[in-house]
Homo-oligomer: A and B are copies of this chain.
Amino acid sequence: MKIAVMPGDGIGPEITAQAVKVLEALKTDGLQVEFEHALIGGAAYRATGVPLPESTVALAQASDAVLFGAVGDFSLDTLPRHLRPEQAILGIRKALNLFANFRPAMVYSELADASTLRPEVVAGLDILIVRELTGDIYFGTPRGHRIAEDGPFKGEREAFDTMRYAETEIRRIAHVAFQAARKRGGKLCSVDKANVLETTQFWRDVVTEVGKEYADVELSHMYVDNCAMQLLKNPKQFDVIVTGNLFGDILSDEASMLTGSIGMLPSASLNESNFGLYEPIHGSAPDIAGKDLANPMATVLSAAMMLRYTFGLEEYASRIEKAVQTVLASGPRTGDIWREGKERTGTSGMGDAIVAAL
């Protein structure tokens, strides 16, 4: 099995190196993987002039899965939009048709005090956000600038974007979400703004229709503004949340911050055939890059998700997850999750500790 490794920017190289280290360690126990590296994001722009070189897309297409670090580099923020590092992540999602984004937000009992929420509100939290990732206003056309043709601002400059969803796009992500809910708590909450937006009324209608095939899953609908409140008021009311690309971007970040430790949260982005890109949900953290300070656990847990979702290797996946739990319980910790009484370590030391716990 061939894994394309795309470290990206900032702390990306350090954290992906630890995940590779963990996967390498499992090789001695029979895991068959090989790695090939490619540039992406700011790193690719600096080397090749574009954030997503064709060779990087080609490598992904010739691989079975992608292990992704992070992209983003403030010093490139003044480039024209199509050259900025973030465009690489949008481009690769689209090129590989990674329409289903899984973002779990769970609170480890050892880290319940990391949240800014009261412990009783978040202890034991375990939500899965399923975000549609290749449609919506992220990719809809037309978009750009124009002179307003009518209305009160006729004749002046305006900018615009198009939110849109076709029926198949909604249908396939709904199936993915219902199936995920079936394997978990059996509850699915679909989030939209159907009281205002045509696109999301259509979303609600199609999700409701697909729901008829999943009588065992309890489906509910919620407006996005209310969901942003309910995640704070009572986050444990949720099991699986499914929503579009834009609302998913906002709500999944909010949900991950409920846990207080975004250095712990992995994610998966899949296409129809379970090919996937796996990445930590946190960013490239340029301020601590190259200093052996970053927490690699989210990336290591992303590698575990890869073994489970793309390769169907449940056993190896849960070995990694248990090793992470062991280190959390009794091992050293990086600064972001360090507590009085715990040994302090760096990115690489954390990788070693996880390998030792395997």
Contacts and interface: CB of A to CB of B under 8 A. Distances in A.
Contacts of A202: 145, 157-159
Interface string A132-161: 000001101001110010000100111111
B158 A195 contact: no
Interface in A4-46: none
Interface stretch (A55-63, A225-233, A297-305, A341-349): A225-233
Contact of A254 (B196, B232, B247): B232
A246 B137 CA distance: 13
Contacts of A81: 195, 201
A138 B169 CA distance: 23
A285 interface: no
A138 B196 contact: yes
B137 A163 contact: yes
A159 B201 CA distance: 9
A333 interface: no
Determine the main DSSP class of A at the interface with B: helix
Interface in A197-250: 197-199, 201-203, 224-226, 228-229, 231-234, 246-247, 249-250
A167 interface: yes
A40 to B, nearest CB: 16
Size range of the interface on A? Answer: 35 or more
Interface stretch (A114-122, A177-185, A315-323, A324-332): A114-122
A133 to B, nearest CB: 12
Nearest to A234: B116
Interface of A: 81, 84, 86, 90, 116-118, 121, 137-138, 140, 143-145, 148, 153, 156-169, 193, 195-199, 201-203, 224-226, 228-229, 231-234, 246-247, 249-254, 256-258, 262
A271 to B, nearest CB: 12
A135 to B, nearest CB: 9
B196 A225 contact: no
Nearest to A252: B225
13 contacts: A86-B196, A116-B121, A138-B196, A140-B160, A143-B197, A159-B165, A159-B203, A161-B164, A161-B199, A162-B162, A193-B246, A226-B253, A228-B257
